[in-house]
Each structure stands twice: as C-alpha cells, then as structure tokens.
Amino acid sequence: MIQTLTLLFFILFHPTHSKPDYLKLNLRYNGNHHHSLSQTLTQDSIRLSFLSSRTTLSAPIISGASTGSGQYLVEFHLGTPPQRLHLIVDTGSDLIWTRCSPCRSNCSFHHPPGTTFLPRHSITFSPFHCYSPSCHLIPHPSHSCNHTRLHSPCRYHYAYADSSSTSGFFSHDVATLHTLSGHPTHIPNLPFGCAFNISPGPALSSAHGVLGLGRGPISFPSHTSSNLGNLFSYCLLDYTLSPPPTSFLLIGHHSIKPSFTSNLSFTPLLSNPVSPTFYYIHITAVYLNNIPLPIDPDVWVLDPNTGNGGTIIDSGTTLSFLPTPAYDQIVSTMALKIPDRFKISHGPPGFDLCVNSTKPLRKPKLVFKLLGGAVLAPPPGNYFIEAADGVTCLALQPADAGFGVIGNLMQQGFLFVFDRDASRLGFSRNGCAV
Ligand SMILES: *[C@@H]1O[C@H](CO)[C@@H](O)[C@H](O)[C@H]1NC(C)=O
Ligand SMILES: *[C@@H]1O[C@H](CO)[C@@H](O)[C@H](O)[C@H]1NC(C)=O
Ligand SMILES: *[C@@H]1O[C@H](CO)[C@@H](O)[C@H](O)[C@H]1NC(C)=O
Ligand SMILES: *[C@@H]1O[C@H](CO)[C@@H](O)[C@H](O)[C@H]1NC(C)=O
C-alpha cells in the first residue's frame, strides 16, 4: 500500500516541464484498402445518420462511433502504469471512450494488446461518483443517485440509431502522451467513458474507442486547453502512398510555428447551438476551373434556430457531402468539362461521375471559397478516389443528413488548425512538413 501511494505521489507530482511544449501524436490510417467504394459510401452514410441524430435536441448523444472505414487512429496511453490503446480521432464527437474489461488476470489472453483498457491494472483509475458535477456532463440513466453511498459510479448508456449501444462508467485516469521533443507528459484526471458493454452493430463493430476532439466541455482539447492552450491541429496524409507517410495530431498552442502562421488561411468556425459538438465552416462559393458555379448562396447557410444546414469539417467521414443543389451543379458542370472518351458509365453504385484513370486526363480544378475570403483549393486527388483498377470517381455525395461535410479525403495534405479560442480554422497546403 505504501509503495502504491509513493508511486502515485511520484506520478502525480513529479515535475514535468516547467513550460510544456505541445503534444505530437502520430496517426495511423485504419481504413481497409480492400473496401469497395460502395462500402465506403455505406459506412459514411451510417456515420452521418448517426451524427445527424445529434443535430436534434431530443437525442443528446455525444459519443462518436467507428464505421471502420476511413478512420485515423491515435496511439494513446492511459492509466498507471500506462496501457496502450488505439483510439479513433474524431472531430465529430466529444466523449473520449474506450472498451474496458473488469478482467483481473490472464487478460491478454482475452484482450489483444491495444484494444481494451483494464481498470483493475491501473492504480490511478477512478469512476466519477454519480453525484459529482462531472456526471452531469454526460447523459446518464435517470435512476436517482444515492449520494450517501460511497461506491455509486457515474453510469452512462447510449443507444444508437442502428441498434448498437454502449454503456459503462464515466471515469477518470492519467493519460501519458509524448510531446514533440519526445518527453512524456502526464495529463491527470482525464475524463473518459469506460465501456464495459458494447453491443455490436454496424456502427460500433470495429471500434476500440474514440478520442473526441469536438467543441463540447468533455472533449480532449477542452480538457487540455488550460495547460496546453485551446488549439489543436492535424495533418492527414495520403494513405494510398507506399510506404504511407505519417499523419499526425498536434495538441497545444505552440503547435503552429510563427513561420507557418503567415502561410495559414483562416475562416471563421461557426457554432450550432443545437449541436455544439461540431466545427462548422461556411462555404460562400464553388469554382470550377476558376469559373464560379451558379449555386444559390442560401444552400450553404446554417440556420441557428432549427440547427439545419451548414457544413462541418469532420475527421471521421471519408467522402464529402454537399447540399443537393450544389452537388448537382458541380457534377453536371464537371461532366461537361470532361470529354466523353474519358467517362465510364458503369461506375460503382451511388457514384455519378467516374473516369478511366489509365488515360491522361487533366481533372477540372475544384475550389471552395470560404467565409472571410479564404480559398480551399484541394488537389484533384482529394476529390477523385480510386474505385477499381483504372477507374476513378468523384468523391462527392449529395447531403441528405441536413448538413454538409468536408470529409477526411478532402483534407489530405493540408495542415488544419482548430483555433478554438479565436473560433477560426486555419489551413495551409505546405504546413505538413513540421
Ligand atoms: C488463460 O485462460 C485460458 C482460457 O481461459 C486458458 O486456456 C489459458 O491456459 C490461461 N493462461 C494462463 C497463462 O493462465
Ligand atoms: C442510500 O445508501 C445508504 C447506504 O448504503 C442506505 O442506508 C440508504 O437507505 C440509501 N438511500 C436510499 C434512498 O436508497
Ligand atoms: C510559405 O509560403 C511561401 C510561398 O508560398 C513558401 O515559399 C514558404 O516556404 C512557406 N513557408 C513555410 C514555412 O512553409
Ligand atoms: C480504359 O482505357 C483503356 C485504354 O483505352 C482501355 O483498355 C480500358 O478497357 C478502359 N477501362 C475501362 C474500365 O473502361
């Protein structure tokens, strides 16, 4: 016991850097290269129906789910001694959660390393008491909390639209993460959902856990903001390259060097009072080969009263989803600019424009103009995706979830900076060589 307390004291009060630099976490692509494009579309659609259930007040669901496709994973160390976990990086949810097992011994036999957190193996693990203010940050069953009982953990339960569910204890523990200079940094009292029961459904089947990066109070950047600064950034790099370059997530204020700041374009991050988790940007115009498309500007508008409309920037969706009138206009104009001999009429279901990629085609240049004048000009590889050998399809979809999404394919190769204090999103094409 004394040894345990000494160790605990050492871990919690061991002086780390007097001036902590920022955290740098490498990301690994979790996608299945053998997935067909139609499967990617199905999984994105499941995710969006799940996300859209959170743009209504009646469904206070705040936990991101995995769809198993197009996800970036972060290696995360939780507990004392640290246990390694792989979590999905998700700007579309707030809660940090991981599979948990009450197992005491012979655990690695049942739980492959990196997949399950074992709270009984961590001396710093503790569930929140159901009476604690933290417990009110998370939707929990309405049964009354007996606050005179010493052991009455904060339970939570989520049911998803696709009949998956997860339940467990809302808890806290120490996370140990590495800074850019390689120093381990301890993050005490990190709140997370310890999920003991996960009933598998399509949305959760492959998830080991989620690192919620959303705007709400229980997300990871919200917890680290007071120590590291209220800012994070990431670079999602092209995972089809071989060997794949290492994508990364930076947490903290020094994560953008002053030299990069001058190269960043900024656009305001808007918030939706109906779904405070999401990061919204506002598209003002779309250009194809430098010509503005005739799209009614109203289709891009986020209505703060109903919570409908707008465009979120999401790390967990692969394709990009645009309001149907904008989508139709982009597809028809792009089809006019591509000579028929390049087109393939029988592409995968759900994709309206596919081309024969074995022939040299200069793809039309798609550009998004954003609020404040920033210009997002992705390379064609960010909006055309390989569907089969020699077949490449436009990686856009009409949005029927009530809001648009800039997915992770569209974000590849850019440094994105989520400047939460200033409510603005910065991005740069040459910021990934940090
Ligand atoms: C672990 O558990 C499995 C099944 O319960 C058993 O077959 C195995 O021998 C155990 N291993 C150890 C080292 O106890
Ligand atoms: C609350 O818990 C205490 C201690 O376990 C018990 O004596 C008491 O009856 C409980 N109160 C209610 C309302 O269940
Ligand atoms: C900023 O942009 C300029 C011009 O595009 C480029 O020459 C320079 O290398 C960039 N700086 C950094 C730090 O990437
Ligand atoms: C693409 O073009 C090449 C060369 O013309 C042709 O051999 C091939 O069959 C075409 N692929 C498809 C899927 O149509």
pLDDT in tens, 94-105: 889 899 999 888
Catalytic option among 90, 94, 173, 419? 90
- Report the pLDDT value the prediction gives residue 203, as an integer from 0 to 100: 53
pLDDT grade for 36, boundaries at 50, 70 and 90:
confident
Write the residue with the smallest CA distance to atom 11 of ligand 2.
146
Write the residue with the smallest CA distance to atom 12 of ligand 3.
260
pLDDT digits (tens, 9 = 90+) for 184-202: 899 999 999 998 877 765 5
Indicate whether 16 pLDDT > 60: no
pLDDT digits (tens, 9 = 90+) for 281-319: 999 999 999 999 999 999 999 998 888 999 999 988 889
- Report the pLDDT value the prediction gives residue 63, as an integer from 0 to 100: 44
Please say whether the beta carbons of 329 and 407 come within 8 A: no
Instruction: State in Å: Cα 265 to ligand 2 middle.
Output: 58
Instruction: State in Å: Cα 257 to ligand 3 middle.
Output: 12
Indicate whether 204 pLDDT > 60: no
- Report the pLDDT value the prediction gives residue 434, as an integer from 0 to 100: 60
Ligand 4 — pocket residues by CB below 6 A? 344, 356, 358-359, 390-391
Indicate whether 257 pLDDT > 80: no
For ligand 4, pick from 343, 345, 356 the residue to mutate: most ligand atoms within 8 Å of CB. 356
90 counts as catalytic: yes
Indicate whether 261 pLDDT > 50: yes
More confident residue, 255 or 158: 158
Gyration radius of the chain over CA positions:
22
pLDDT digits (tens, 9 = 90+) for 398-432: 997 689 999 999 999 999 999 999 999 999 998 88
Collect all residues with Cβ–Cβ distance below 8 Å to 149 and sequence separation of at least 6. none
Dihedral angle over CA of 432, 276, 287, 239, nearest 10: 40
Instruction: State in Å: Cα 143 to ligand 2 middle.
Output: 14
314 counts as catalytic: yes
Residue 36 forms beta bridges with which residues? none
pLDDT digits (tens, 9 = 90+) for 389-404: 889 999 999 997 689 9
Q: Indicate left, alpha or beta for 413 from its phi (over 0: left) and psi (-120 to 50: alpha).
A: left
Sequence ranges of the chain with CATH classification 2.40.70.10: 20-251, 257-428
Please say whether the beta carbons of 198 and 65 come within 8 A: no
What does the alpha-carbon distance between residue 171 and residue 84 come to, in Å, rounded to a whole number? Answer: 17
Dihedral angle over CA of 169, 172, 178, 179, nearest 10: 130
- Report the pLDDT value the prediction gives residue 343, as an integer from 0 to 100: 93
- Report the pLDDT value the prediction gives residue 54, as an integer from 0 to 100: 54
For ligand 2, pick from 131, 145, 148, 150 the residue to mutate: most ligand atoms within 8 Å of CB. 148
128-134 average pLDDT score: 90
Ligand 3 — pocket residues by CB below 6 A? 259-260, 263, 430
Locate the ligand 3 atom nearest the alpha carbon of residue 262 and give its number.
1
- Report the pLDDT value the prediction gives residue 140, as an integer from 0 to 100: 64
Strands (E), 79-230: 83-90, 97-99, 126-127, 155-159, 165-178, 184-199, 209-212
Nearest to 315 by CA among 422, 421, 232: 232
For ligand 2, pick from 130, 131, 146 the residue to mutate: most ligand atoms within 8 Å of CB. 146
Write the residue with the smallest CA distance to atom 14 of ligand 2.
146
Across 43-47, 158-162, 369-373, least confident range = 158-162
pLDDT grade for 70, boundaries at 50, 70 and 90:
low
Indicate whether 321 pLDDT > 70: yes
What does the alpha-carbon distance between residue 78 and residue 252 come to, in Å, rounded to a whole number? Answer: 19
pLDDT digits (tens, 9 = 90+) for 322-337: 999 999 999 999 999 9
Instruction: State in Å: Cα 246 to ligand 3 middle.
Output: 21
What does the alpha-carbon distance between residue 10 and residue 4 come to, in Å, rounded to a whole number? Answer: 10
Instruction: State in Å: Cα 356 to ligand 4 middle.
Output: 6
pLDDT grade for 55, boundaries at 50, 70 and 90:
very low
Indicate whether 211 pLDDT > 60: yes
Burial of residue 194 (CB within 10 Å: 0-12, 13-18, 19+) is buried
The pTM of the whole model exceeds 0.75: yes
Ligand 2 — pocket residues by CB below 6 A? 146, 148-149
More confident residue, 106 or 18: 106
Locate the ligand 3 atom nearest the alpha carbon of residue 431 and give its number.
14
For ligand 3, pick from 263, 414, 427 the residue to mutate: most ligand atoms within 8 Å of CB. 263
Across 58-62, 191-195, 230-234, 344-348, least confident range = 58-62
Please calculate the CA angle 414-420-422 and round it to the nearest 5 degrees.
100
| Nearest ligand atom owner, CA of 148 | 2
CATH of domain 20-251: 2.40.70.10
Q: How many CB atoms lie within 10 A of CB 14?
A: 8
Three-state DSSP state, 266: strand
Per the listing, tokens 């992705």 go with 378
Summary mean pLDDT of the chain: 83
Fold of the domain spanning 257-428? Cathepsin D, subunit A; domain 1 (2.40.70)
